Amino acid sequence: GNYVNGNNVGAALYLQRTTSASKITDCNFNNNINGRGVVYVDGTISIINSNFTNNVAKDTSNYNSGNCIYGGTIVVEACNFVNNSGVKPVIYTAAALTVSDSNFINNTNDYASGLGGAILSTSSIKIIKSNFTNNGAGSGAAIYATGAVTISDSNFTYNSARSNGGV
């Protein structure tokens, strides 16, 4: 795994000014220790058929960031997020997020009032045919969203929040 000290971003990838043509496909991001984001995106990205496993977020200076993916407009398709932990949700974005055919399993946002064990979004999100199992956070065990939310054909099982609901 990779290690980024302090509050730096992009333990594995720091992507600036990406466009809708930008893609990450068939990749594994395992055992990275990050400040804010294993993958940092300043722009738009599609992440397809990739795995994020056992990544740890340690930066306590900015709680509105993501452990595995942090940044702009994000499309996640057929990805697995398993056993990620620390003081951040798995994905954070303030722009549009679409997740399809993906699994979020055993992820925790350990910060006392952490928002979203799997996803924290302050914009619109669309979740399609995805599974959220055994995720946890202070509020919104699986998803904490403040924008428009559309969820279809998805499963939420054994997610746990200390307050304010499981989704």
Please check the confidence at residue 5 and state whether its pLDDT lies above 50.
no
Confidence at 157, pLDDT banded by 50, 70, 90: very high
The average pLDDT across 94-117 equals 91
Integer Cα distance of 89 and 24 in angstroms: 20
Per-residue 3-state assignment (H helix, E strand, C coil) for 138-166: EECCCEEECCCEEEECCEEECCEEEECCC
pLDDT for residue 164:
76
pLDDT band at residue 145 under the 50/70/90 scheme: very high
Residue 76 CA to residue 93 CA, distance in Å, equals 12
Position 63 pLDDT exceeds 60: no
pLDDT for position 122? 93
pLDDT of residue 35: 67
